Copies of this chain bind each other. A is one copy, B any other.
Amino acid sequence: MTANRADGLETRNRLLESACRLFAEQGYHAARTAEICRAARANVAAVNYHFGGKKQLYVAAWRHAIAQSVKAYPLDGGVPSAAPPAERLRGHVLALVRRFLDARSLDMKIADREMLHPSGLCAEVMHHSIKPLREMLEQIIRVLLGPDAAPEAVRLCAMSVHAQCHAVMAHERRLRNMPRDGRRRPPPLTMGPDALAEHIVRFSLAGVRAVRAGVRRGLRTPAVKGGRR
């Protein structure tokens, strides 16, 4: 009997990488297996041989992307959990923004598309991709907000922070997807990941402190008019 051959694993890996990229760029439905194979310099039959079908390839590719991302960008950003919460937030946001802007980190892009146009596969993987992220962020913010903070307040602040990081990715993707010659493209990101993260951290720390102050005083502010019809 002969052992598995080395070249087999190589094409399997190429397939995995191409699949990550194309699924991230186009989503499960729009990405064509033929194109994935072409990008991987493999025959169309390779997908079925190595993975058993497009669906299984999708799940495998997503898992692969997640593994790569968390290895490259630990969620705490390298800041120990004993550090002051402001520093931990900085680490987390920086790691997140870098990850979002790294063209090789594809898991969040896949997750994003899955949200908008679910393939029906892998609700499993979805949570695996997103849950730890939210938990870490909420944990940090809980400390920042202090012991009296309502769970609602924590969730809202986490949303505010995450939304900003996410927006950076969305903006960058818009730049990529736009036709190169389009006269009216959105203004490019003139700054690098670190400067962007810096803004988000400063903005958010102040925001969280304001919410903390508001919670303590039980503030409510007047409504504003203007509604539907």
Contacts and interface: CB of A to CB of B under 8 A. Distances in A.
A90 B207 CA distance: 15
A123 interface: yes
A155 to B, nearest CB: 7
A219 B220 CA distance: 32
A164 interface: yes
Contacts of A228: 72-73, 98, 102, 104
Contacts of A29: 30
Contacts of A30: 29, 117
Contacts of A156: 196, 199, 203
A33 interface: no
A176 to B, nearest CB: 11
A194 B223 contact: yes
A77 B152 contact: no
B200 A160 contact: yes
Contacts of A191: 152
Nearest to A72: B228
A19 to B, nearest CB: 18
Interface in A26-75: 26-27, 29-30, 71-74
Nearest to A221: B198
B200 A171 contact: no
B157 A27 contact: no
A169 B71 CA distance: 31
A225 interface: yes
A27 B159 contact: no
Nearest to A193: B227
A76 B220 CA distance: 21
A115 interface: yes
Given A202-B214, A221-B202, A98 B227 contact: yes
